[in-house]
Chains A and B, each alone.
Chain A
Amino acid sequence: MTNRELDSLMGKVLLDAIALEEDSSAENVPYTASAHHRRQMRSMLRNPLRWARERSKPIWKNVAQKAAAILLVLSLGLGSVMLASPTARAAIVRWITEWYETHIVFRYAGEDIQGNLPQYVIEELPEGFVEDWEKAFVGSDIVAHYYESEKGEAMLFEYVRMQQGALSSVSTEDANAVSVSVNGCDGLLLIPEKEGYNSTLTWIDPANNLQFTIDAPLNEQDILHIAQSVCLVETTK
């Protein structure tokens, strides 16, 4: 018997051993699937490949992609903004909102702002979420905080400085956009069309030249509630 034949036989024996064990197992453990698991399985059956790709990526990468995109575009100068959008050259506005098929871009024009970003926190975190400080990012023009629940659900809270030449974007793919107000500031809520995906809420605070974004596995009411609990911790000197 060659090694290959032996290995093939080994596979057959092992599979039959599992069958023997399964057929003789009478124990039936009482079990009801959790809501989270049911959502995952529904999402998997709708599109196995997409589900597998999403799940194969570390969770923090999924939510941190947006932060990374904002970081990248923050490095663009005014010239790039003008090249990309002639309207930016003509309009004297604080920001321009551009709607595309799959995303929305916010472009900012105005003064360069120096100094550290003020610190904001979510006072009322959703139950079970704790911050993973190792994945937090604090830059001169962007701050991102990452939270994770016991179930492995991820949430991102970030804010960026609106200043000359900066821009940010949010994805609108497979989501419905709804205009909202967060503590008197205009915002946009993106509600996923499919279960198992995060909602995204972004709002602009013109008084402080900041754009806030929360990406979380929450419904409309809950994500608005935590957005309204965002408060200033320490102002820059």
Chain B
Amino acid sequence: MLPMLLAMLESDADRAIFADAYEQYHVRMEQAALRILKDPHDAEDAVENAFLKIIHSFDKFLEISCKKRLFWCVCIVKNEAIMILRKKKNTILLESLEDTYDAGVDISEGISYEDIVRLFAQLPETYRAVLEMKFLLDYTGKEIATRLHISENTVNVRISRGRAMLREIMEKEDIHP
């Protein structure tokens, strides 16, 4: 599977797109990693790991509209940074707090698509990381659990809550994407 995906980057055209993406996005990616990790050496690791992921998922990269590619790259580097952070720090306390986080939302008043986006932007970082890894980066539950050092059950609970929250809002407000 991997060699086939990598083959996408063998043409000069693909390489040019990749080089262009690097030029355009690397500063924002570095900044995103630095904000999370605070340490330049760790941030560089996160950026390098992120580019490795981009190369491996270059077909997915090409599927994303040009306007949103930067944010997909930032998503990757943020999650690589979170992984590094979790490896280095004992985050058990944070984990237990997150598990008590109430992902429910009061939707008694009207809510727009922009409100939903704001709501998801406010989710705790590692809670969001699970959803991003699942829905943007196509990791399996097991892969997410390994990368974030949490149980697969916790991963599944967060994915279910995220889905349930979004479905509830969309159905009650009759919002269509």
A: which residues have CB within 8 A of B? 1, 3, 5-22, 25, 27-29, 31-34, 36-37, 40-41, 44-45, 48-49, 51-53, 55-56, 151
Give Cα A41–Cα B55 distance, bound, in whole angstroms: 13
* Interface of A, helix, strand, loop or mixed by DSSP: helix
- Of B72, B116, B131, B177, most buried by chain A (CB within 10 Å of CB) is B177
Interface string of B23-54 (1 = CB under 8 A from A): 00010101110110010110110011001100
B: which residues have CB within 8 A of A? 6, 9-10, 15, 18-19, 22, 26, 28, 30-32, 34-35, 38, 40-41, 43-44, 47-48, 51-52, 55-56, 68, 70-72, 74-75, 78, 113, 116-118, 120-121, 128, 131-132, 135-136, 162-163, 166-167, 170-171, 177
Subset of 5 A-B contacts with CB under 8 Å: A6-B170, A17-B118, A18-B78, A34-B40, A34-B41
Q: Smallest distance from the beta carbon of A230 to chain B beta carbons, Å? A: 31
Q: Smallest distance from the beta carbon of A75 to chain B beta carbons, Å? A: 30
Give Cα A52–Cα B52 distance, bound, in whole angstroms: 6
Which residues of chain B are near A36, meaning CB under 8 Å? Answer: 44
Residue contact A13 to B117, C-beta cutoff 8 Å: yes
Which residues of chain A are near B72, meaning CB under 8 Å? Answer: 15
Residue contact B26 to A29, C-beta cutoff 8 Å: no
Give Cα A7–Cα B18 distance, bound, in whole angstroms: 27
For the A-B complex with A6-B170, A33-B30 known, give 12 more contacts whose Cβ atoms are closer than 8 Å.
A5-B177, A9-B170, A14-B75, A17-B121, A18-B75, A19-B68, A22-B32, A22-B74, A28-B31, A48-B55, A49-B55, A55-B48
Which residues of chain A are near B170, meaning CB under 8 Å? Answer: 1, 6, 9
Residue contact B51 to A44, C-beta cutoff 8 Å: yes
Residue contact B121 to A20, C-beta cutoff 8 Å: yes
Give Cα A56–Cα B48 distance, bound, in whole angstroms: 11
Residue contact A48 to B18, C-beta cutoff 8 Å: yes
Which residues of chain A are near B136, meaning CB under 8 Å? Answer: 11, 14-15
Q: Smallest distance from the beta carbon of B156 to chain A beta carbons, Å? A: 14
- Of A29, A48, A51, most buried by chain B (CB within 10 Å of CB) is A48
What is the count of residue pairs linking A and B with beta-carbon distances less than 8 angstroms? 119
Residue contact A12 to B15, C-beta cutoff 8 Å: no
Q: Smallest distance from the beta carbon of B32 to chain A beta carbons, Å? A: 8
Give Cα A53–Cα B118 distance, bound, in whole angstroms: 39
Nearest residue in A to B131 (C-beta to C-beta)?
A14
Top 10 A-B pairs, shortest CB-CB distance: A17-B121, A29-B34, A37-B44, A17-B120, A18-B71, A52-B55, A11-B135, A16-B117, A10-B135, A9-B177
Which residues of chain B are near A32, meaning CB under 8 Å? Answer: 40
Residue contact A17 to B6, C-beta cutoff 8 Å: no
Residue contact A45 to B19, C-beta cutoff 8 Å: yes
Which residues of chain B are near A12, meaning CB under 8 Å? Answer: 177
Give Cα A34–Cα B47 distance, bound, in whole angstroms: 13
Option from B15, B40, B162, B167 in Cβ contact (under 8 Å) with A1: B167
Option from B22, B30, B128, B131 in Cβ contact (under 8 Å) with A45: B22
Residue contact A15 to B71, C-beta cutoff 8 Å: yes
Which residues of chain B are near A33, meaning CB under 8 Å? Answer: 30, 44
Q: Smallest distance from the beta carbon of A173 to chain B beta carbons, Å? A: 19
Residue contact A6 to B166, C-beta cutoff 8 Å: yes
Which residues of chain A are near B177, meaning CB under 8 Å? Answer: 5, 8-9, 12
Residue contact A15 to B18, C-beta cutoff 8 Å: no
The verdict on A14 contacting B44 (CB below 8 Å), with A9-B166, A29-B31, A49-B9 known, is no
Which residues of chain A are near B120, meaning CB under 8 Å? Answer: 13-14, 17
